[in-house]
Amino acid sequence: MFSRTGQRLSSVVLGLLSAPAAFADWELNMPKGVTEVSQSIYDLHMLIFWICVWIGVVVFGVMFYSIFAHRKSKGAKASQFHESLGLELLWTAVPTAILIAMAIPATSTLIEMYDTTDAQVDIKITGHQWKWQYDYLGEDVGFFSNMTTSQDEIYDRAPKGENYLLEVDKHVVVPTGQKIRFLITANDVIHAWWVPEIAVKKDAIPGYINESWALIPEGQEGLYRGQCAELCGVDHGFMPIVLEAVTAEQYEVWLVDQRAAAEAEAAAALGDYSHEELMTKGEEVYARSCAACHGAEGGGMGSVFPALAGSPIATGDMAAHIDIVLNGTPGTAMQAFAVQLSEVDLAAVITYERNAWGNDTGDTVTPKMILDAKQ
């Protein structure tokens, strides 16, 4: 855990001298967001905030005045009054009234947030360790969404991109002007799906389904970035969300494209690929789907995630290696990737693992072998 300490300490010191000021903001407040609900929440937040500020100004004002004026060094003589029923009643009643005033808009906003009826689009969101899965109900479109920020960027070996830690390979595309219902669950531990600009945050609980909704008005097309908001293990900080709001027409086109791409992927599994093609693709798939746990150079992470470089599995029986990647290892964090990656990607990444970092088995795993293993 403290390996390469010297190197790291010096990057801390260098960091002191060269903070990435170009990208940092001095954000002070919650975003107003792009929906009616997010605006209502923002308004409520500001209302409570200002009430607290004013109460603070009054109370601290009296206190600081007293600290100044009622000090012994100024010759103040202490009074001895020590109770007043009237005052106690007053400063119980007035805060009560203020709280009731706050509770009214809070109640109506909450009721609005709970009304998931009459949605036009239903998206099932499943939290996994450590990525999100999206299924568009009734549309035959579904995919996994992985963070694309590289390990090199994270470990200071490459400059950080503008959307560092907030970029994914597949965006959740939604239409503007239509009510979208999110059905949220998880497949292992509790996660939480959160996109601040639409003010949606809901826990993703294994075995249970939660729902939430959003309506992004027409004219608010754009990219909205969010993160997992419930500690879910090692890579809790590395499973972002990118919501892409497009016009209703563009959304329909996107759905068609997604179905076509899925069909093409299934067809591609029957094609032929050279060892070199598989290695190139495999390296890309590995960086995206495996490196976060198994290390950029296959070195693993401590005792939790085993090394693949020189591992008996990656250099031993091919069928056993394929089985682990496809079906996972129950009781560990190694998931079943059969549903997450296409046959071509699976063949490519297993080929890569068997030949990279000095493993050099010379094996080629083809997509057809993956299809067979799935029978």
Measured from the Cβ of residue 11, the count of other Cβ atoms closer than 10 Å reads 13
Phi, psi of 183 (to 5 degrees): -110, 115
Minimum distance from residue 146 beta carbon to another protein (Å): 16
Coil vs helix vs strand at 110: helix
- Per-residue binder mask for another protein (CB under 8 A), 242-281, x = binder: ----------------------------------------
- The secondary structure element, H or E, covering residue 171 is none
- Per-residue binder mask for another protein (CB under 8 A), 45-64, x = binder: x--xx--x--xx--xx-xx-
Identify the residue among 178, 179, 190, 248 touching another protein (CB under 8 A): 190
Minimum distance from residue 371 beta carbon to another protein (Å): 13
Identify the residue among 179, 201, 275, 368 touching another protein (CB under 8 A): 201
Identify the residue among 36, 169, 235, 265 touching another protein (CB under 8 A): 235
Q: What residues numbered 336-375 form the site for another protein, per CB under 8 A? A: 336, 338-339, 374-375
**CA–CA separation, 74 vs 44, rounded Å?**
44
Tell me which DSSP letter residue 159 carries: P
- Any residues with CB less than 8 A from the CB of 78 and at least 6 apart, and which? none
Identify the residue among 177, 299, 300, 328 touching another protein (CB under 8 A): 328
Q: What residues numbered 68-87 form the site for another protein, per CB under 8 A? A: 70-73, 76-84, 87
Strand order in the sheet with 191-195: 172-175, 241-246, 222-228, 191-195, 200-204
Phi, psi of 44 (to 5 degrees): -60, -45
User: Can residue 320 be called a binding residue for another protein (CB under 8 A)?
Assistant: no
Q: Are 192 and 202 in contact (CB under 8 A)?
A: yes
Identify the residue among 34, 121, 128, 172 touching another protein (CB under 8 A): 128
Minimum distance from residue 351 beta carbon to another protein (Å): 22
- Residue 195 has which token pair? 């996109």
- Residue 217 has which token pair? 């008005």
Identify the residue among 156, 169, 283, 363 touching another protein (CB under 8 A): 156
Coil vs helix vs strand at 200: strand
In the complex with another protein, which residue's Cβ is closer, 61 or 219? Answer: 61
